[in-house]
């Protein structure tokens, strides 16, 4: 990462929320005692947000109901993010993403190549 100028970098990530988001996944109890859990066991409505951020702040964002799938990610990338990117080594020319499965695949690479 040290070889890049801050203006070149765009960080992308997504997050989601449903009724169970704040529920603990594990608990602790005294020895020989059981953990009792009271909580919501219904998912409810799920919202997923995705955003792209540069050193200037958020440059693109989108919220969908449900989970974000590959098609939705590609649409966001093409119609919101890549329109604001320049060819390397220009402004917003390096996309930094985590290892989520929707970030992989030939379609993502082809789309990025098409925009330079």
CB contact set of 23 (below 8 Å; sequence gap of 6+)? 39, 40
What does the pLDDT average to over 42-62?
Answer: 91
Provide the domain count of the chain. 1
List phi, psi (to 5°) of 14.
Answer: -130, 155
Is 32 part of a structural domain of the chain? no
pLDDT band at 20 (very low <50, low <70, confident <90, very high): low
pTM score: 0.77
Is 102 part of a structural domain of the chain? yes
Position 23 scores a pLDDT of: 61
State how far the Cα of 50 lies from the Cα of 15, in Å rounded to an integer. Answer: 7
Residue pointed to by tokens 């789309």: 111
Position 26 scores a pLDDT of: 66
State how far the Cα of 18 lies from the Cα of 97, in Å rounded to an integer. Answer: 23
Q: Which CATH number does the domain housing residue 63 bear? A: 3.30.420.10
- pLDDT tens digits, one per residue of 81-114: 999 999 999 999 999 999 988 888 899 999 988 9
- pLDDT tens digits, one per residue of 54-78: 999 999 999 999 989 999 999 999 9
């Amino acid at each position: 990462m040290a070889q890049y100028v801050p203006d070149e970098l765009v960080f992308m990530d997504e997050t989601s929320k449903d009724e169970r988001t704040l529920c603990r996944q594990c608990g602790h109890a005294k020895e020989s005692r059981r953990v009792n859990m009271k909580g919501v066991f219904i998912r409810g409505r799920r919202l997923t947000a995705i955003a792209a951020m540069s050193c200037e702040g958020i440059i693109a964002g989108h919220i969908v109901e449900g989970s974000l799938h590959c098609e939705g990610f590609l649409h966001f990338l093409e119609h919101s993010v890549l329109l604001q990117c320049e060819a390397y080594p220009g402004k917003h020319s390096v996309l930094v993403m985590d290892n989520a499965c929707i970030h992989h695949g030939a379609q993502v690479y082809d789309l990025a190549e098409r925009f330079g």
